[in-house]
Each structure stands twice: as C-alpha cells, then as structure tokens.
Amino acid sequence: MRDGITFHDGTPFDAEAVKKTIDRILDKNAPTPKANMFGMIKEVKVVDPHKVQLILHYPFAGLLSVLASAEGGIISPKAIEQYGKDLSKHPVGTGPFVFESWTPGQEIVLVKNSSSMTLGRYESFAVDHIGMNVTKKPFDDVRVRQAIAHAIDKEAIIQGVYNNVGKVAVSSLGPKVIGYSPNLKTPDYDLNKAKQLLAEAGYANGFKATVYLNDNKARINVAEVLQSQLKGIGIDLQIQVMEFGAYLDLAAKGQAQMFISGWGNATGDADYNQYNLFHSTSKGVPGNHSFYANPKVDELIEAGRKEKDPQKRKAIYEQAQQIEIDEVPLIPYRSSENLAAIAKNVQGITISPSGYVEINDVTIQ
C-alpha cells in the first residue's frame, strides 16, 4: 500500500484496514454477500503497516483481479465499527469525492475532495441473459431449452429494444473479459429446428410458461419481444414484472420458471461470471438462479481458478462455456455498452468496462 493515504474519515489506509476488511467478509458469524468471492483466503497477516500476506486454501489465479476491482474495495476500520450493518448507507472512501448524503430514488450528494468530474459509448464486461430454471418442468428437458435458444432472434432485440447499443452476446462473458473466446458455437436463429426440438421433447403444441423480471424498462421491452418470438413456436409466455428486491428473492429461492437478468463483472476475469452463474455451490443467492449443476463444469471452473498459465486458463474456460451453451441454463443475448452524456467542457472522463465512472483524470475547460 502507498504511504500517506487516508480515508475520508481520517483513518489510515494501511495493512490493518485491509485485514479488517477481509476478516469482516469472511466472518462466519456475520457472512457478507462477498464471502463466496473471497472464500479461497485462509488468513490475512499484517507484515508491516503497508504490506499484507494472504494465505490461501488453494491457488486462485483470479485473486489479483478481484483485489484490484471494486469487489476488493477496502473499508475504513472506523466506519466498520461506527456504522455496523448500516455501513452501505455511509460509504467512506479515499478518492476525489466525499460522500455527503443519499436520498434513495432521488439523489446522491458528493462533495469535492481534491479535483475531478461526468459521460460517450464504452464497451462493458456485462452481459444480459434469459434464464431457465433447469429443475422446473418443462425446462428440466435440455431439448426445450435448446428449442427456446433457436427461437430467439437476438439481433431483433438489440435493434428494437436497445437501438443497436450493445452487441449480440456469444456467451456469458463479454468480449473484454479474460477467458472470453470467439470460437464458441452458438445456436442459430432457426424456428424449424426449435419446433423439431419441442416435438421431440413432447411439446409439439407448445406450453404455457411465465418469465420473471425486475421493473427495468429495457428488460420489460425485451420480455415483450420474447413473448412475441416464442409465440412462433407455440409457447404462451406470461410476463411477471416485480420490484427488484422481490424479484431477486424469488429467483434466489428457485421460484422463477424463466427470468430476464444480467451479470456485470467487476474484475474482468472469467471466474467472476463462471463461479457465480454456473457452479453448483452458487445456486440461489450467489447468482446461479438457473439452479444448474454439472460436475464437469464444476471441475473446469475449479481448474480455471487454480491454473496460472493464461492460455491454459482460456482453454479451460472455453470448454466450460461450450458445455453451458449446449446445455442452455442461460441464453446470453446482449453484451452491453455503457452510455453517458458528456458536457463539451468536460475532458478525461471514461466509464470502465466494469461500469464505474472514472473521474480521476477529469478536467473542466
């Protein structure tokens, strides 16, 4: 850690702060949503005020990308003690703006700490997808899931809903993510093939189903397009729009037949998507809302975590992604882009692929 850095509350940004942050994440008596991401860490040792040693349960090639991302953000020890469970309402950082207040649904007020400012078109790590709960009929039959994949015209969604902002997704990984492969074979838009697969699965006349989603306007529009497209193969799709928290709760409990969602990536590494979306231990709250489980995929994801050679890791993740595409727990349809309106007198602002507005180099003319 660099010398002389302090949090906005005056607390030193040092090795003790790193240890307290990670120990808090791994506290089994009060687990946080990030516990799954840091589970490979066995112990944090303070070597000196500006150096820590991380002892791991097993090798994890993606550790540095996690620590360098917002997921690895270090928290002020003073703030942890002061705010407890309300910490998310009182963020304390080290950057150019200091948090002043937050009125949910209305505004966040930041006060200038040193210098900076806010927006263009920037490629993103995030991918939007349509999911199916593989434990619920008729989606427990892979042929039904494959039929739906063949019945979705992704190009029409990108053009009609997003006005060509974003690109057709190849897999659950965006093109900028480490582990992405352009060599994957994805289902073509083919209604005849879709109808054939449904007939083979015993649903020649289609069936009724419900897709769940949160009250995001774009996703509501996607649901309406999906409803129209699936009607072409005899599927009567009902749309259930919910408040975001209620939707997440329902999906995490495995109560959603189909769902429209997305997954960002704060680290830029394949593990962030693969482990949370597809590993069998991530069913429910961590992110595997398809309740998908495949021992071979688990094995590959775990191997990808431990492999140090970048090319070997890429090959491992390519194999895992191809299995996921073939078994269709999720249908990735859009690699997203981040848009921002930037005043002409504002220079140097960008949005990182992980979706964060980078304001450290901003100048105002």
Confidence of residue 231 (pLDDT cuts 50, 70, 90): very high
Region 50-56: what's the mean pLDDT? 94
Confidence of residue 266 (pLDDT cuts 50, 70, 90): confident
Residue 295 CB coordination number (10 Å): 8
Residues 152, 93, single domain; the answer is no
- Among the ranges given (19-23, 61-65, 121-125, 171-175), the one the predictor scored with the smallest mean pLDDT: 121-125
Q: Which domain holds residue 139?
A: 122-338
| DSSP classification of residue 94 | S
| Cα angle 195-196-201, degrees, rounded to a multiple of 5 | 95
* Domain membership flag for residue 333: yes
> What is the structure's pLDDT at 315?
97
Verdict on whether the full-model pTM lies above 0.75: no
The 10 Å CB-count burial string (b at 16+, else e) for 53-64 is: ebeeeeebbbbe
Residues 195, 256, single domain; the answer is yes
Give Cα 78 distance to the centre of its chain: 30
* Domain membership flag for residue 20: yes
Report the mean per-residue pLDDT for the chain.
90
Question: For residue 116, is pLDDT > 50?
Answer: no
Question: For residue 345, is pLDDT > 80?
Answer: no
* Domain membership flag for residue 365: no
Total number of domains in the chain = 2
Residues 202, 331, single domain; the answer is yes
> What is the structure's pLDDT at 117?
42
- Among the ranges given (16-25, 61-70, 335-344), the one the predictor scored with the smallest mean pLDDT: 335-344
Residues forming beta bridges with residue 69, ordered by sequence position: none
Helix or strand run (H / E) with residue 126: strand 121-132
Q: Which candidate, 156, 270, 165, 177, places its Cα nearest to that of 222?
A: 156
- The 10s digit of each residue's pLDDT in 149-208 is 999 999 999 999 998 989 999 999 998 899 999 999 999 999 999 999 999 999 999 999
Question: For residue 113, is pLDDT > 50?
Answer: yes
Question: For residue 291, is pLDDT > 80?
Answer: yes
Residues forming beta bridges with residue 210, ordered by sequence position: 238
> What is the structure's pLDDT at 19?
94
- What's the CATH number where 157 sits? 3.10.105.10
Residue by residue, DSSP assigns 220-251 as HHHHHHHHHHHHTTTEEEEEEEE-HHHHHHHH
